[in-house]
Amino acid sequence: MNHVRTKPRKIRTVLKLALLFLVAAVQLYPLLWLLLFSFKSNNDIFGSNIAGLPVVWHWENYSNALFGGGILIYFRNSVVYTAITIVAAGVLSAMSSYAISRLQWKLRGGTYILFTLGIMIPLQAVLLPLYLLLDNLKILNTGLALLIPYIAFAVPMSIIILCGFYGSVPKDIEEAAYLDGCNIYQVFFRVVLPIVRPAVATVSIFTFLGTWNELMFANTFVNDSSLRTLTVGIMSFAGEYSTNWGAIGAGMVIATLPTIVIYFFLSDQVQSSIVAGAVKG
Amino acid sequence: MYKKRSVLVFVLPTVLIYTCIVVLPIFASFYISLFNWDGVGSMVFCGLSNFQKMFSNDPNFHTAIRNSFVLAGASLIIQLPIAFILALVLANGVKFEKFFRTVYFIPVIISSMVIGQLWLKIFNADYGLLNMVLKAVGLENLAQPWLAQTSTSFGCTVVPAVWQYVGQYILIFYAGMKGIPEDYYEAARIDGANSRQTMVSITIPLMTPVIKACLILSLTGSFKSFDLVYVMTNGGPLHSSDVPSTAMYANLFGSHLYGYGSAQAVFIVLECLIATLLLQLVYKKPEAELT
């Protein structure tokens, strides 16, 4: 009886794997194509070697993009904006969600609801008023024009995820620390924060993904090419050098590399962070 | 143990920034939408006439709305079911499961700008991957200037949108399926249920909150879609690939119609809100209990 059942099961498994590999190929091939043409010269791309591996690996596409095209500057800007946003939003959210979940005060519940409303808000809803606000504060076209909105928008989801996490942390440790004579700041920074580190990591990844790739604000609030993010910079680069596919491809690979590297090392956390965000939302 | 004042230290800075940047501007948008204003001159109150104009006098915006519904449709009819099926296959156990999960998710984390630029190249009429492949397999007559035709321009933005985010839904569905206790499947097996019956009676009902979350994500994502379309076509040619967000953006920062653009922003917000509320209502039926 066993022998009769294994054959169709094996065929089913093979078919399943074939389907899965096919989908994987569909997901990966465009990216592979991108990587390959980033190393090709225009002659290759437009004529002699369209589909194959580069015969000559044109690394100068990358140096052209980085130095001639200014992409190194855009890269630096994105790193700075994203790093500051992650740290600032992380600290603010960790402190606020600690207060919401662990401290006793009247407006606790209301404040939490205030933040939950925030994750549903599309950026379109605030784009013009923010533009006007930043203009009136004279910080339009400065670094703050992006930092402040990025931090503000990273906060709601971070608070929701962190509050969920704080709920599962036992209270005894805190109480012991208070009994030992610690004040609230010491309890928070020395005792509680280290415990919620995994959640802070999840939240940081979420903030990173939202900030590194952001386009609408970056395109609207900052004009100076010296302050542009990678996302906007490459868009304008692609517009300016529109026929130089190799260099554009190099720029795109450079923009994507940090995300891929982080994903490669932290794939589990990245995946669980997205799932957490989706289900809470 | 701690003074009430400490709570303020922990919470106030965050609440201040958040309120000023996220909450108050929404109300400002609603307010501005009731005026005619170009940002320089005076604001002229015009009531709901911006909204009236939007719905009756702006065929480009009608195209934009229609496009956003096409995107939503593609997501609901193509993207979500494919993601569900693939998640099912993965969750039931296959070799290399982790590899597939990891790979499917890669396009999700890449910026929509890069995805948009990439697919611009794929759809390029002369050197793009698509037309090259069509010519290579002898289907030259199908090779067209995809991005330059008003009939296919929006479709060119739908394909990458579905391609990019299918991995996200695969992951979310997969996580949901993995959360269902084995015992249910055991019981079903003992009762003699086949795999289709199991899926209909056990998997789908217990996945209700996850399915609801994905439906909300999918609909609101489609309605507020901006990055991909902006990068690929910016609504062109001739507004054929416009979506509400790109139309709004052009009105705000291209034509400086602050009042009208704000009305469009309000429309997008209300659209997302209504979609979310509707789905919450639809799913108000008691969820399958895990007793």
B155-176, pLDDT tens digit by residue? 999 999 999 999 999 999 999 9
Structural domain containing residue B159:
59-282
Q: Are A10 and A107 part of one and the same domain?
A: no
* Interface confidence (ipTM) of the complex: 0.88
Q: Are A29 and A68 part of one and the same domain?
A: no
Task: Tell me if B129 is assigned to some domain.
Answer: yes
pLDDT tier for residue A6 given thresholds of 50, 70 and 90: low
Peptide bond into B145 cis (omega under 30): no
Q: Are A153 and A221 part of one and the same domain?
A: yes
Q: The domain spanning residue A163 has which CATH number?
A: 1.10.3720.10
Residues of A in contact with B88 (CB under 8 A): none
A122 and B220 in contact by Cβ < 8 A? yes
pLDDT tier for residue A166 given thresholds of 50, 70 and 90: confident
| Least CB–CB distance from B89: residue in A16, A50, A124 | A16
Task: Tell me if B29 is assigned to some domain.
Answer: no
Q: Are A86 and A25 part of one and the same domain?
A: no
Backbone region of residue A228 per phi and psi (left: phi > 0; alpha: psi in -120 to 50; beta: other values): beta
B111 and A278 in contact by Cβ < 8 A? no
Preferred mutation among B5, B10, B29 to probe A, highest tally of A CBs within 10 A: B10
Three-state DSSP class for residue B35:
strand
Task: Tell me if B7 is assigned to some domain.
Answer: no
A30 and B118 in contact by Cβ < 8 A? yes
Distances (CA, A) of B274 to B74, B148, B208: 20, 34, 20
Q: Are A69 and A26 part of one and the same domain?
A: no
Judge contact between B108 and A258, C-beta under 8 A.
no
pLDDT over threshold 90, residue B183? no
A30 and B129 in contact by Cβ < 8 A? yes
> How many folded domains does chain B comprise?
1
Q: Are A242 and A104 part of one and the same domain?
A: yes
Q: Are A231 and A111 part of one and the same domain?
A: yes
pLDDT value, residue A4:
55
Q: Are A160 and A22 part of one and the same domain?
A: no
Task: Tell me if A57 is assigned to some domain.
Answer: no
Task: Tell me if A55 is assigned to some domain.
Answer: no
Task: Tell me if A203 is assigned to some domain.
Answer: yes
Name, in order, each residue with C-beta under 8 angstroms of B47's C-beta and a sequence gap of 6 or more: B34
B272 reaches A (C-beta below 8 A): yes
Structural domain containing residue A8:
2-37
pLDDT tier for residue B285 given thresholds of 50, 70 and 90: low
| Least CB–CB distance from B112: residue in A31, A213, A278 | A213
Find residues 112-171 of chain B whose CB sits inside 8 Å of chain A. Answer: 112-114, 117-119, 121-122, 126-127, 129, 132, 163, 166-168, 171
For range B111-137, the mean pLDDT: 91
A133 and B167 in contact by Cβ < 8 A? no
| Least CB–CB distance from B15: residue in A111, A120, A234 | A111
Q: pTM for the full model?
A: 0.89
Task: Tell me if A45 is assigned to some domain.
Answer: no
Task: Tell me if A54 is assigned to some domain.
Answer: no
Tokens of B249: 């953006």
How many C-beta atoms lie closer than 10 Å to residue A28's C-beta?
14
B101 reaches A (C-beta below 8 A): yes
B35 reaches A (C-beta below 8 A): no
Task: Tell me if A44 is assigned to some domain.
Answer: no
B22 and A248 in contact by Cβ < 8 A? no
Task: Tell me if B15 is assigned to some domain.
Answer: no
Task: Tell me if B161 is assigned to some domain.
Answer: yes
Task: Tell me if B276 is assigned to some domain.
Answer: yes
Summarize pLDDT for A8-37 with one digit per residue, the tens.
778 888 988 999 999 999 999 999 999 998
Name, in order, each residue with C-beta under 8 angstroms of A187's C-beta and a sequence gap of 6 or more: A174, A177, A178
Q: Are A67 and A190 part of one and the same domain?
A: yes
Q: Are A228 and A114 part of one and the same domain?
A: yes
Q: How far is A82 from chain B (nearest CA, A)?
A: 14
> How many folded domains does chain A comprise?
2
B32 and A151 in contact by Cβ < 8 A? no
Task: Tell me if B154 is assigned to some domain.
Answer: yes
Return the residue of A nearest to B216 by Cα: A281
Task: Tell me if A20 is assigned to some domain.
Answer: yes
Q: The domain spanning residue B154 has which CATH number?
A: 1.10.3720.10
pLDDT tier for residue B289 given thresholds of 50, 70 and 90: very low
Cα angle B281, A164, B287; round to 5: 30
B195 reaches A (C-beta below 8 A): no
How far is Cα A191 from Cα B224, in angstroms, rounded to an integer?
Answer: 41
Q: Are A23 and A73 part of one and the same domain?
A: no
Residues of B in contact with A148 (CB under 8 A): 17, 21
Task: Tell me if B278 is assigned to some domain.
Answer: yes
